[in-house]
Amino acid sequence: MDTKIKQEQESVSDMKQSNIESLETLGPYIAEQDNSKNFVYVSNIPQLCKDEPCMLGVDEAGRGPVLGPMVYGIAFCPLSKKDILKTLGFADSKQLTEEKRDQIFDEMNRKDFAKEALGWAVEPISPNVISMSMLRRTKHSLNEVSMDSAIGLINAAIEAGVNIAEVYVDTVGPPEKYQAKLQAIFPKFKITVAKKADSTYPIVSAASIAAKVTRDHALKVWKFRERSNEQENSFGSGYPGDPTTKKFLGEIDLVFGFPRLVRFSWSTAGNALEKKAYDMEVEDEGDAKDAQKASYGSEKLSKYFAASKNENRKRHDYFRDRCLEHVTDI
C-alpha cells in the first residue's frame, strides 16, 4: 500500500475533523461523510471577502471517470487582491502534478496572506447520485447535475456573506446558453462562461485545484460498504483506459454488480454488467397486484359486460322468436 495513503487512512481513525484547515485535515473530513450522498463544504469566509467586491470562479473535477465522485468547486477573493492568485501559483489543475496541486491547496489554507483574502467551497457529487439521476424515469443529465451544483455553490457563497461582483465559469455545454442561464439567475453579477476558463482565469484555476484535490483525497479514503476487507486503492484513477480500473471493473458480483464507487450509468460499466452479470427481472407493482387478485379467484365485474373484439354475439331467443328488431327511426 502507498505510504501516503496508509498514513491518511490511519489518521482518519485517530481524529474527528470539523474543519478543513490544511491538506492533512482534508482526508479525515471527507472520510466522516456518507459517500453515497452529496455534501457541501464551505471554508471560513475572510472578512475582506464580505467587505470588498469579489471575483468568484467555478470549475469541476472528475467529470469523465467511471469511478468515484464528480467534485464541483468554487474559489473567491477580492478584486483588489487578485495578485495573491499569482503568488500561490494557480494554473490549470490538469497541467499540474498531484504533488504540486497538494502543495498549493495546503498553502491556500495555511498561509496567513491567503487565509485573509481567499475562500473556497466544494460539493462532491456521489457516483450513486450521478447514476440515479441519469437513469431515473425523468432523466437528469450530467450537464444538469453539473449546473445545479454550480448554482448551488454560488448560492452557498452568497448565503455565507461573500460580496460577489464577478463570476467566471468553466463551461458545461455551449457557453452562450450556460452564461444566459446564469445571468438570468444572478442578474446583479458580471458573469463570464468560457471554454478552458481554468487556464485563462486564475480564480477558476483556484476552484479547479480545490475540486481536483478534494476528489483525489476522496478516492484515497473511500470506504467500501460492500467490501469491508478492501484496504487500499485497487481501482486506479477511475478512467476507463487505466489498466487497474479495467481490472477492477472485471471483478463483478454476478448478482449485485458493482459497489457504489462505480457510476453504473456509464456505458463502460453497463457493458461489463451485460457480459458477466446475471439477468434480473423485477416484477412491476401492478403485475404483482393483478397476480394476487387472480390467485384469490376474483375477477373484474366489467368482464361480464365486455365482449371480445372477435366475438359475434347472438341475440336472445326471446327477441328472435318475436321477430323484434332494433328501431332507430320512426
**Which residues belong to the annotated binding site for a divalent metal cation?**
59-60, 170
pLDDT at 12 over 50: no
Instruction: Please tell me the predicted confidence (pLDDT) of residue 139.
Output: 86
Angstrom distance (rounded) from CA 230 to CA 91: 35
C-alpha cell at 114: 491567503
- Least confident span in 24-33, 75-84, 293-302: 293-302
pLDDT: which is higher, 146 or 224: 146
In a domain, 134, yes or no: yes
pLDDT: which is higher, 294 or 68: 68
Assess contact for 192 and 179: CB atoms under 8 A: yes
Q: Are residues 177 and 247 in the same domain?
A: no
Query: Which single residue is written with the C-alpha cell 500561490?
Result: 88
Q: Convert the pLDDT of each residue in 231-271 to its tens digit.
A: 566 788 888 888 988 888 888 888 888 888 999 888 888 88
pLDDT: which is higher, 242 or 69: 69
Which residues have CB under 8 Å from 244's CB, separation 6+? Answer: 234, 235, 236, 237
Q: Are residues 76 and 131 in the same domain?
A: yes
Name the domain count of the chain: 2
In a domain, 149, yes or no: yes
Mean local confidence (pLDDT), 286-311: 55
- Least confident span in 31-35, 194-198, 290-294: 290-294
The terminus-to-terminus CA distance of the chain in angstroms comes to 97
- Least confident span in 13-27, 95-109, 147-161, 250-264: 13-27
Q: Are residues 154 and 259 in the same domain?
A: no
In a domain, 2, yes or no: no
Query: Which single residue is written with the C-alpha cell 494554473?
Result: 91
Q: Which of 200, 153, 144, 192 is nearest to 172 (CA)?
A: 144
Angstrom distance (rounded) from CA 200 to CA 204: 8
Query: Which single residue is written with the C-alpha cell 450513486?
Result: 128
3-state secondary structure of 41: strand
Angstrom distance (rounded) from CA 154 to CA 193: 14
Q: Are residues 85 and 200 in the same domain?
A: yes
Instruction: Please tell me the predicted confidence (pLDDT) of residue 330.
Output: 54
Instruction: Please tell me the predicted confidence (pLDDT) of residue 249.
Output: 85
- Residue 14's pLDDT band (cuts 50, 70, 90): very low
Chain-centroid distance, C-alpha 134:
10
Query: Which single residue is written with the C-alpha cell 459497489?
Result: 259
pLDDT at 155 over 80: yes
* Domain end point (choices 221, 256, 291): 221
Residue 71 buriedness (CB in 10 A; 0-12 / 13-18 / 19+): buried
- Residue 8's pLDDT band (cuts 50, 70, 90): very low
Q: What percent of the chain has pLDDT over 70?
A: 77
Q: Are residues 178 and 253 in the same domain?
A: no
Mean local confidence (pLDDT), 296-317: 58
pLDDT at 4 over 50: no
Q: Convert the pLDDT of each residue in 83-141 to its tens digit.
A: 999 999 997 666 889 999 999 999 999 999 999 999 999 999 999 999 999 988 888 99
In a domain, 296, yes or no: no
Q: Are residues 40 and 142 in the same domain?
A: yes
Assess contact for 197 and 204: CB atoms under 8 A: yes
Q: Are residues 149 and 58 in the same domain?
A: yes
Assess contact for 158 and 152: CB atoms under 8 A: no
pLDDT at 146 over 70: yes
pLDDT: which is higher, 244 or 305: 244
Instruction: Please tell me the predicted confidence (pLDDT) of residue 15.
Output: 39
In a domain, 304, yes or no: no
Instruction: Please tell me the predicted confidence (pLDDT) of residue 221.
Output: 92
pLDDT at 6 over 50: no
Instruction: Please tell me the predicted confidence (pLDDT) of residue 226.
Output: 76
Q: Convert the pLDDT of each residue in 191-237 to its tens digit.
A: 999 999 999 999 999 999 999 999 999 999 998 887 666 556 678 88
Q: Are residues 261 and 128 in the same domain?
A: no
Q: Are residues 215 and 90 in the same domain?
A: yes
In a domain, 212, yes or no: yes
Assess contact for 151 and 182: CB atoms under 8 A: yes
Instruction: Please tell me the predicted confidence (pLDDT) of residue 98.
Output: 92
Assess contact for 154 and 241: CB atoms under 8 A: no
In a domain, 301, yes or no: no
Please give the C-alpha separations between residue 320 and each of 196, 206, 247, 323, 327, in angstroms, as whole numbers.
86, 91, 79, 5, 14
Q: What is the mean pLDDT of the chain?
A: 84
**Which residues belong to the annotated binding site?**
59-60, 170
Mean local confidence (pLDDT), 141-165: 97
Q: What is the CATH number of the domain that holds 76?
A: 3.30.420.10
Instruction: Please tell me the predicted confidence (pLDDT) of residue 219.
Output: 93
Give the full edge-to-edge strand order of the sheet including 41-42: 41-42, 119-125, 70-78, 54-61, 164-170, 190-194
Q: Are residues 139 and 267 in the same domain?
A: no
Instruction: Please tell me the predicted confidence (pLDDT) of residue 163.
Output: 98
Helix (H) or strand (E) holding 133: helix 127-135
Q: Which domain, by its residues, includes 164?
A: 23-221
In a domain, 330, yes or no: no
